[in-house]
A = this chain, B = another copy of it.
Amino acid sequence: MYPKKTHWTSDITTDLHGREVTLAGWVWELRDLGKVKFIVLRDREGFVQLTLKVGKTPEHVFRVFSELNREDVIVVKGVVETSKIAKRGVEVFPTDITILNKAKPLPLDIWSETPDLATRLKWRSIDLKRPRNLAVFSLASKILREIRETLYGERFVEVFTPKIIVTSTEGGAELFPVLYFERVAYLSQSPQLYKEQLTASLERVFEIGPAFRAEKHNTDYHLNEFISVDAEAAFMNYHDVMDILEKIMKRVVLVLSENVARLREVGLMPVVTELDKIPRVEYDEAIEKLGQLGYSVKWGDDFTVEMQKALMRFYGSVYFIIDFPASLRPFYTKRKENDRSESYDLIINGIEVASGATRIHKRDELEEEMRKRGLDPKLFESHLAVFDYGMPPHAGFGLGFNRLLTALLGLDNVRHATLYPRDRYRVEP
């Protein structure tokens, strides 16, 4: 048995001067200056310098040093000392090093170069050792925690709805077929209909899980499998759920601001580090502003990323667009006067990150909206039936988690915010 890791690299501060610690991680860098030798050790949380000095460091540690290669897995016992030279003012003098596993020379550079995306994704599990990736995906986990804690605080319960389904949620979107024993089923594109149905029992529900879209286009902002944060609440309207999204975003931005130092170290700068009220911009006003800026866009059009970026000069990097034309939204969206709808998008750094609405809770209205969109209500009978037995008014949102991370960190491709992306041409690793 090897000794247990007692500290992470980020725990090693000057406060620990003189203390014995056990670290475990990977050899990031080796430097041999003769009588002094250095190992930079990496773990998920960062780096620490191990210093070997002739006369101070035991002989057997030097022997281990001579066998080391980059990315070898080691466990190190040593004593923390403050240092005037070492990064972060602290170093560790090892008293024992054990090699737990050897590493061959890596198939891609994770130290100084950033290879092209295709190479990085091909060797994704190795690429994830890159400090920037460690920072991004550690942050992702913290953001998820804030999202859930906000929703728990608003008395939502977490649910899981099936991913193998028999009918389309929206009617339109393309689905991946699954061979389910003797029949064909499909992968769920969204928990939309299930979460709406659940408002009739659990009232406030959320789900964070995979969603699947068989869309053939291959863009920087689309994935064929992505993580969707879905929430739906009885007795709320679209402004109520925007209030909740606002609360979520405030907590998320707080986490971002707390992590600015680490993000900066890996060359990232969050797009937002402060957030007060998120403006709720009417669709009509957005159209007008875009007209002023010379965009040829008319009422009834959807916005492009470029237009959404252009609107930032008026509303900042985080804003809602509300009251979209009903014709632009799915059948379950509640209509308001003048062909508008009680709907909204959340735009961050020009990217549509979430979208939501008050939903229709009356069966006859729902059927009418289906027909307007050329959908046959008969195909949705099992969903519609639930509306006969006490469906409350409700509202909700769907938020693309990978996009949220992409937008917040100003990444240029959603694949950077996804551990193992799935797209038109990529289904492994």
Contacts and interface: CB of A to CB of B under 8 A. Distances in A.
Interface of A: 1-2, 4-5, 8, 24, 26, 43-44, 71-73, 75, 100-101, 103-104, 106-107, 125-126, 128-129, 133-134, 137-138, 140-141, 144-145, 148, 152, 155, 157-167, 176-181, 183, 185, 187, 194, 197-198, 200-204, 209-210, 212, 214, 216, 224-225, 227, 234-235, 237, 240, 361-362, 382, 386, 388-393, 401, 419-420, 422, 424, 427-429
Given A129-B201, A210-B210, A159 B141 contact: yes
A204 B177 CA distance: 34
A46 to B, nearest CB: 12
A164 B211 CA distance: 11
A427 B183 CA distance: 10
A158 B401 CA distance: 13
Contacts of A129: 200-201, 390
A161 B419 contact: yes
A181 B362 CA distance: 37
A26 B390 contact: yes
Given A44-B201, A162-B225, A210-B210, 14 more contacts: A2-B393, A5-B235, A44-B202, A71-B390, A73-B391, A101-B391, A103-B388, A128-B202, A160-B401, A162-B420, A164-B422, A167-B428, A179-B179, A181-B424
Contacts of A101: 361-362, 390-393
Given A2-B393, A101-B362, A420-B194, A201 B125 contact: yes
Given A44-B201, A235-B75, A388-B104, A141 B157 contact: yes
A336 to B, nearest CB: 12
A157 B142 CA distance: 8
A163 B390 contact: no
A308 to B, nearest CB: 26
Contact of A419 (B141, B160, B165, B203): B160
A419 B128 contact: no
Contacts of A145: 148, 152, 158
A72 B198 contact: no
14 contacts: A44-B203, A73-B392, A73-B393, A100-B361, A100-B393, A101-B391, A125-B197, A128-B198, A129-B201, A140-B158, A160-B227, A161-B419, A161-B420, A165-B428
Taking the full assembly, how many copies of this chain does it contain? 2
Given A125-B386, A178-B177, A183-B427, A134 B201 contact: yes
A178 B72 CA distance: 38
Q: Sort A-B residue pairs by CB-CB distance and give the 8 closest, nearest first.
A: A141-B157, A128-B201, A103-B390, A71-B390, A125-B197, A141-B158, A24-B235, A177-B179
A115 to B, nearest CB: 15
A140 to B, nearest CB: 8
A176 B137 CA distance: 29
Contact of A203 (B43, B125, B183, B420): B43
